Structure 1
């Protein structure tokens, strides 16, 4: 992929549910959007505006109904499940509001899980990468602790390491601080910004928190399935 090619390019993207039925509803109405390498973008909007639907489409979890979605320059329409899974594993990391760590697995095992699922094994280099990431985010002493032994903020840091372990060019984060108290939320967001700077990973962060959105480099606002503003944020 050419370095100048957008990571994400949407053109005329539409998403409807209950196609062909009396209760058919279109949720996303012809979106045009680009996300480039190394960007740190907030996606904001009221509940019901289509943010979760857009994230599901971007994450290759749901196909668009019409329009084009190119990921790493590859048109995703018509790709089979195997190819979609490969592209998802190559291009994307995910962080959710609830960490979705496996409770029976240690922090280290949770972070290496995506590589195990992708490759069928954990290569020594992959485990070393996971250890390095956990150390970098202040959890070097917690490698062998299970999620239940960690605070909420620590669990979300493990989830962040898991999202970044396979070095994806883009992380999709859905309300990553929404389940945390203010202090933990600020810590996790600061960590995201630090990892963005150090690794060059692009982030698209869905958030209801104005103070989080204010610290992103670009803010996209979605209302009723349409982009009503897309603006760069002044550096503070």
Structure 2
């Protein structure tokens, strides 16, 4: 594996309903590298395979065939427990809908991944969560519950949660798709700022060409194949 490659996919195929009359292949031999510290966009029409590819990258689904290396580890033969551990330790997720727990405060939501990993929230983790919320502009709102926050503020909590375990890779699936234009621009600017400060790799699925153009690289998937992979033109 290339020393600066965080992700390497080779000939990744994904089929559903294998062996049944309804068997369908959604990903047709995907080759993709994501370098450490890269900020890339994944675009494509609805039904093109973006979400399936993101699920494979995020170890939420297994590829039917092909080779996947993540952070120097070959993923393909790992059992479920090892995959879960690798996902937890390496990947952060930001979704279109923030999936915050309504009964938990902002800081409690941010510390949830650490709680799931360790069974408790250590003082250092809570301090990091508070620092992350301050970083995303929510120092004064850390004890508020999601219902007390705007949509843009809730998504910023979700960004902080994705970063709490210091992942090497953040997968963001339409992270601004549920926000108005102003909030969308704020959240995207936040992702770019964090990327610049921390150097975490980001792969952002977006349908917004404005946001894609603000990434460093654009990967376009059409009908389950990579149709374009080039630096963004600003």
Q: TM-score range by the shorter chain?
A: over 0.9
Moved over 3 A (4+): none
User: What's 2:84 paired with?
Assistant: 85
Q: Give the TM-score, by structure 2 length.
A: 0.98
Task: Confirm or deny that 1:12 pairs with 2:25.
Answer: no
Where 1:7 maps in the other structure, the secondary structure is: strand
What is the Cα deviation at residue 18 of structure 1? 0.4
Tell me the alpha carbon deviations over residues 45-77 of structure 1, each in whole angstroms, 9 at most, x when there is no partner: 000000000011001010000000111111111
Where 1:208 maps in the other structure, the secondary structure is: coil
Q: 1:50–1:192: structure 2 CA closer, same or farther, 3 Å change rule? A: same
Matches within 5 A, 1:41-120: 41-120=40-119
User: What's 2:139 paired with?
Assistant: 140
User: What's 1:40 paired with?
Assistant: 39
CA distance in 2, matches of 1:70, 1:215: 27
Task: Confirm or deny that 1:169 pairs with 2:161.
Answer: no
Task: Confirm or deny that 1:230 pairs with 2:224.
Answer: no
Gaps of 5+ in 2: none
Matched-pair contact (CA < 8 Å) for 1:106–1:143? yes
What is the Cα deviation at residue 122 of structure 1? 1.0
CA distance in 1, matches of 2:94, 2:73: 23
What is the Cα deviation at residue 5 of structure 1? 4.2
Gaps of 5+ in 1: none
CA distance in 2, matches of 1:165, 1:191: 15
Where 2:153 maps in the other structure, the secondary structure is: helix
What is the Cα deviation at residue 80 of structure 1? 1.1
Where 2:111 maps in the other structure, the secondary structure is: helix
User: What's 2:208 paired with?
Assistant: 209
Q: 1:231–1:3: structure 2 CA closer, same or farther, 3 Å change rule? A: closer
Matched-pair contact (CA < 8 Å) for 1:5–1:72? no
CA distance in 1, matches of 2:136, 2:157: 9
CA distance in 2, matches of 1:168, 1:41: 16
Q: Report which stretch shifted further, 48-57 or 4-13.
A: 4-13
User: What's 1:195 paired with?
Assistant: 194
User: What's 1:220 paired with?
Assistant: 219
Q: Give the TM-score, by structure 1 length.
A: 0.97
What is the Cα deviation at residue 4 of structure 1? 2.0
CA distance in 2, matches of 1:189, 1:3: 29
